[in-house]
Chains A and B, each alone.
Chain A
Amino acid sequence: MFNLIFSEAWISITAYKMRTFLTTLGIMIGVAAVVLMVAVGQTVQNVIDESFESMGGNLLIVLPGASTSGGVRTAMGRPTVSRQDMDSIKELKDVLTTSYATQSGVQAVYGKNNWSVNAMGTTPDYLDVGNWEIDRGIMFTERDLKSAASYVVLGQTVVDELFGFEDPIGKSVRLQNIPFLVIGTLKSKGPGLTGDDQDNLIMMPFSTLRQKIRGARQPQMVSIGFVKVNSENKLDTVLQRVTYLLRARHHLKDTEDDDFTIRNMAELVEQVKKVGFYLSLLLAAIASISLIVGSIGIMNMMLVSVTERTREIGTRKALGAPNRWIMIQFLVESILISFMGSLMGLVIGITTSQIGGYIFEKEVPISIWTVILSFSVAVIVGVVSGLFPAIKAMKLDPIDALRYQ
């Protein structure tokens, strides 16, 4: 019986092609908007995830200076954390390794080429902590760190700008007129969260930077420290241990605030992810307004259709159509319209989001949930907007309906 109702409904809605098409348009735009917005939200979230992953997971970041002092925000960055602090943290339980760094902007010269770059003095473990990989050559060693060797490892942007297609390994680059030997290059990471070029970087031993590029009154002090922890759920305990250790090493009294700040990267990631999630939710919610409008369009069209087909309904009833049948037919018509609109909207939404992804060079995911969601929405919208007109059709008195002009 259902295939008969289905074919009756199909013939009825295709009899008025223009009207049916215009009605499906409303749902189509709504579903396309939702699909597109969900895709945008998910892409943004993916970009955030990737950026955080490229910064390394299971990481605690130690910054010199207190974030607050006696309840008052103070300027951060007063040098308080030393290389020795970071080395001693390495001995703590559940800590895999530590690293530290300080940076300075320098002008790099090779032959006639000249490039402004970020010079980073750090330790060999920074590769692991910062999720970097050596592309060609080697990383400097602990021994180079002790001897303050004039070795550098170049980021991909620096390689491109200074060397072009030339092999930089074994060549000499001048930074502030001092020659440095290129011993390795880094694999590219692409732009960071804020769109900055992470590959515009030269790595060298911490001691080398302090002695040859940028001296300091307290050369042992670092700008940033990294603590890599062996598992994500140990982050909080390790954070406690690091705090105790640093307070002890800095001889802080119980009444004194910390003179350093420790940030839990995983927590930060969670927070940014949450923001991303609410962002996609918001986008989808805005897009679904157009779905509601489309659904009202269907209801309106079905009501017109019931009025226009009053005589048809009367005839069908006189010829033996049960009320149930009349109601189901109108409901199926409404669901079909909504379903077709959803299908078209899904195709358009996915196509547009993929084209957008292609233009902005981002991978846009097609989630199965979007598909399931839009089809459930189609059925729900169809039923909700078709129910009232269908009941109206069902309740028509055949005598009045037959007399209707």
Chain B
Amino acid sequence: MPQKTVVEVNNLKKTYYMPGGMSQNVLKGVSFQIEEGEFVAIMGHSGSGKSTLMNTLGCLDRPTSGTYLLDGKEISKLSDEELALVRGRTLGFVFQNFNLLMKRTIADNVSLPLLYQGISKTQMYTRAKAMLEKVGLAGYENRIPNQLSGGMQQRVAIARALINNPKIILADEPTGNLDSQTSDEIMTFFQSLNKQGITIILVTHEPDVAMYAKRLIRIADGVVEYDGSVKEYMERQHV
């Protein structure tokens, strides 16, 4: 089966200009491709440019130069409004601190991305219900986030990320606020999603978490330091 490229970044550079004429090159020419169905972990120390790369991949930020093709579409030159549209249709976000709306029901939270797609309220609810069933939270539709455990809240966030059938799931330290047992649970869940063919990009600094992925892209000082199998990298580290 010929694999389809969903992410293609070429010589991606990002420079932050600070007041007083100072500038800082955070990304110094990053290139890689991600095929459909991959499970990629992006690792790197803080200050390595990992977050900037993540924001760019998440269409929250534009590169200073270079190209970024998402699902075959060049997005580095899009306007804010167009970027919002791309985020809503092709991406699913999972955050470290879940970022659920605490005053809203679980169903409202899960269906939030559909709100901006012009889908009717009843349809939103039906799809949220179906998605909650998929993440093992059937019957929790009308609860509020505070009534759920951290692991359950993160599953709500995953359901929210999946509801618009995104091309990629972007998970930014998804286990950062969870205990190790719940972390394993969530990562296993990500693995099972990946087995169903969903492309996942995971940003983490924990090797244990990265182990759940198949491929590792390690960023250091604004460039790709390693790109390959997670296992090989880990084995090399342990020698």
Whether A402 pairs with B99 at a CB distance below 8 angstroms is: yes
Asked if B93 is at the interface (CB within 8 A of a chain A CB), the reply is yes
Whether A319 pairs with B87 at a CB distance below 8 angstroms is: yes
Asked if B113 is at the interface (CB within 8 A of a chain A CB), the reply is yes
Partner of A319, one of B55, B80, B88: B88
Partner of A323, one of B80, B88, B112: B80
Asked if A321 is at the interface (CB within 8 A of a chain B CB), the reply is yes
Whether A311 pairs with B99 at a CB distance below 8 angstroms is: yes
Asked if B192 is at the interface (CB within 8 A of a chain A CB), the reply is no
- Give the segment of B27-35, B115-123, B208-216 that binds chain A: B115-123
Q: Which residue of A lies closest to B160 (CB)?
A: A319
A306-330 interface (Cβ within 8 A of B): 311-312, 314-325
Asked if A257 is at the interface (CB within 8 A of a chain B CB), the reply is no
Q: Mark B64-90, 1 if CB is under 8 A from A, else 0.
A: 000000000000000011001101110
Number of residues of chain B lying within 8 A (CB) of chain A:
27
Minimum C-beta distance from A196 to chain B (A): 64
Asked if B101 is at the interface (CB within 8 A of a chain A CB), the reply is yes
Distance of A318 Cα from B113 Cα, bound (Å): 9
Whether B101 pairs with A321 at a CB distance below 8 angstroms is: no
Query: Given that A7-B121, A399-B60, A402-B95 are known contacts, is A320 also in contact with B116, CB under 8 Å in the complex?
Result: yes
Q: Mark B28-49, 1 if CB is under 8 A from A, else 0.
A: 0000000000000000000000
Minimum C-beta distance from B168 to chain A (A): 13
Query: Given that A1-B118, A4-B121, A316-B112 are known contacts, is A321 also in contact with B84, CB under 8 Å in the complex?
Result: yes
Which range holds the interface residue count of chain A? 20 to 34
Query: Given that A325-B116, A399-B61, A402-B99 are known contacts, is A320 also in contact with B84, CB under 8 Å in the complex?
Result: yes
Contacting residues, chain A, for B134 (C-beta < 8 A): none
Asked if B174 is at the interface (CB within 8 A of a chain A CB), the reply is no
Asked if B195 is at the interface (CB within 8 A of a chain A CB), the reply is no
Contacting residues, chain A, for B104 (C-beta < 8 A): 11
Contacting residues, chain B, for A322 (C-beta < 8 A): 81, 84-85, 116
Residues on B facing A (Cβ under 8 Å): 55, 58, 60-61, 80-81, 84-85, 87-89, 93, 95, 99, 101, 103-104, 108, 112-113, 115-118, 121, 160, 164
Would you give 10 A-B contacts (Cβ < 8 Å), ordered by A? A1-B118, A316-B112, A317-B84, A317-B87, A318-B60, A319-B88, A319-B93, A320-B88, A321-B115, A323-B81
